[in-house]
Amino acid sequence: MICLRLFCRAAGRVVLCVLLAASAQAAPRPVVLELFTSNSCSSCPPAYALLREFDARSPVDDVRLILLSQHVDYWNRLGWVDRYSSADFTARQRSYAREVFGSGRVYTPQLVVNGRREMVASRRSEVHAAIARAAHDLRLNVTLTARASEGAGVNLVADIAAQAQDAPASVWFALIQDDVVSRVEAGENGGRTLVENGVVRQLRRVGRLSADAVAKPQRFSAQLSRPHGADMQDLSAAVFVQRDDDRRIIGAAEVSLDARTAAR
């Protein structure tokens, strides 16, 4: 009887360990994909198609892709003004080129993975490999909640777990739209209809983590405005934490905005 009880206890511990391991593996690991693009660039639609495919089904198990498609404005000179373009996105891309990759060269479609690696966004094998390498990059535990506010606002709250930091980092919120359809009338894609996921409609720095050997949990909040005419089911919000020195992204999370969010 004693042996049987000892066996059951040992078996119970094994089962518990298996359950804990399965629980730990259940949460997908985030990987942040920043696409710098333009609807006037004829090389960009293949990147849209590839990233929509990967967004629907990650090519790497247990990885959650957070796609941030940022439309630059330097293609607008071709006679078609990309309605999603922003000088701020161009400045962000140029900052990567200058401060991270050292080339000073910008191009579209450029993909930046977790702020660390860059490549042409339509090259399937390179993008797949970069996602696989990045699967364990983000170790900072971040959670995000969203609630609708009065009018067309969305209140976002990010909770960041305690973790010592050896460099200051910035906390960014983004409002993202999927299934964006664009009818392009001029430029290299004149006459084409493009469909894209992950279009950044707002990107805002909301706070900063200081370099701290004894860090404490922190909370950041902000209100972003829902784009006029966008369906709630196509929207999501994201938070990412990015080091100020080498621009590595060290934590991220994303949450969908659905009808329940709108009703709160």
Task: Report residues of the chain scoring pLDDT below 50.
Answer: 1-8, 10-11, 14-25, 262-264
The predicted pLDDT at position 181 comes to: 97
Q: What tokens were used for 223? A: 């209100």
Q: Which amino acid is it at 222?
A: A
The predicted pLDDT at position 148 comes to: 81
The predicted pLDDT at position 263 comes to: 45
Q: What tokens were used for 100? A: 């991270």
Strand ranges (E), the chain? 29-37, 63-71, 110-113, 117-120, 142-148, 153-160, 169-177, 180-183, 193-196, 199-209, 218-225, 235-243, 249-257
Q: Are 189 and 41 in contact (CB under 8 A)?
A: yes
The predicted pLDDT at position 25 comes to: 47
Q: Which residue has the tokens 């660390």?
A: 116
Q: For the whole prediction, is pTM greater than 0.85?
A: yes
Q: Which of 206, 214, 208, 261 is nearest to 236 (CA)?
A: 261
Question: What is the C-alpha separation between 99 and 233, in angstroms, rounded?
Answer: 36
